[in-house]
Structure 1
Amino acid sequence: MTDTAASVDVGYTASFTVQVTDKMVHQFADLSGDRNPIHLDDEYASKTRFGRRIAHGMIVGALISRALVDGIGGGGIYLGQSLKFVNPVFIDDTVVITIKITGIRKEKGIATVETNATKLNGDVVVKGEAVIMMSRPA
Structure 2
Amino acid sequence: MDNFPRGTICIEDIEMGMTRHLRKEVTDADIEKFAEVSTDRNPVHLDDSYARDTIFGGRIAHGMLTAGLISAVIGEQLPGHGSVYLGQSLKFLAPVRPGDVVRAEVEVVGIEVDRRRVTLDCRCEVAGKTVLAGEALVMAPSRKFD
TM-score (norm 2): 0.89
User: What is the aligned partner in structure 2 of residue 23 from structure 1?
Assistant: 29
**SS where residue 4 of structure 1 aligns?**
coil
**SS where residue 114 of structure 2 aligns?**
coil
Pairwise CA distance, 1:69: 2.0
Task: Decide whether the 8 Å contact of 1:111 with 1:132 is kept in 2.
Answer: yes
**SS where residue 98 of structure 2 aligns?**
coil
User: What is the aligned partner in structure 1 of residue 3 from structure 2?
Assistant: none
Gaps of 5+ in 1: none
Corresponding position: 1:59 with 2:32 = no
User: What is the aligned partner in structure 2 of residue 46 from structure 1?
Assistant: 52
User: What is the aligned partner in structure 1 of residue 108 from structure 2?
Assistant: 101
Task: Decide whether the 8 Å contact of 1:108 with 1:137 is kept in 2.
Answer: no
User: What is the aligned partner in structure 2 of residue 83 from structure 1?
Assistant: 90
- C-alpha RMSD of matched pairs (Å): 1.5
Pairwise CA distance, 1:10: 1.1
Question: What are the Cα deviations for residues 55-93 of structure 1, in whole angstroms up to 9, with x where unaligned?
Answer: 000001111100112321211100000000000000110
CA distance in 2, matches of 1:19, 1:3: 25
Letter in 2 for 1:85: F
Task: Decide whether the 8 Å contact of 1:107 with 1:137 is kept in 2.
Answer: no
In the TM superposition, structure 1's runs of 4+ consecutive aligned residues that sit over 3 Å from their partners are: none
Pairwise CA distance, 1:3: 3.8
CA distance in 1, matches of 2:48, 2:143: 48
Question: What are the Cα deviations for residues 84-108 of structure 1, in whole angstroms up to 9, with x where unaligned?
Answer: 0000000110010010000000011
Letter in 1 for 2:81: G
The total of aligned residue pairs comes to 137
Pairwise CA distance, 1:123: 1.0
TM-score (norm 1): 0.94
Gaps of 5+ in 2: 1-5
